[in-house]
Structure 1
Amino acid sequence: MNSNADPLDALDDAQAAAAFRRLVRHLRHRHDAQNIELMGLAGFCRNCLADWIRDAGYANDKEAARELIHGMPSAEWKATRQTPATDEQLARMEASIAKNAQE
């Protein structure tokens, strides 16, 4: 095995898909975890997941991808689940996104 190989690449696709679906369902359940908070802490959010499935070949548009991840149209999700971001949350998000550039 190549010493630079990522063991994650050896994970069976079915197992990876099951884990991804579990993550998405968990985020749907934990709508109290705001996207802005996820961005501030981890540098990704539900909308990133929607972008990533499109990058992976999902054929539908951005709105359809977000609906798939949110479990409802994004406008409905924003109206019923999203709270306004504070200046502090926005600053944490910007700092966290800057770390993503190091990947």
Structure 2
Amino acid sequence: MGILIGMTATLATIKVDKEVRDQLAKVARSRHTTMRALLADFAERATREQMWAEINAGYARLQQDPEQWADYMSELESWETATADADDQAAEEWPEYQQ
């Protein structure tokens, strides 16, 4: 049996094992939602996890080259120094956000 997914007018059918479908249906029922919404949530979470995995892998590659890592850290430091004054100015301009 297929599961329909899609939040727009276009729907796609995917085939999953009956056991997987039943697991998804059980979780969806326990969360008082639909399998469509559950799958959309899972897809969003997987996308976010993938993005962070790629970011972390990029940092790991960068750290393997001590010179490039030092350059990166130096650039970060310069940004922190440059934005310190801007933060003080913003606090003065928008005191309602300082509560």
TM-score by length of 1: 0.28
Which is bigger in relative contact order (C-alpha 8 A, separation at least 6)?
Answer: 1
Bigger strand share: 2
Structure with bigger gyration radius: 2
Bigger helix share: 2
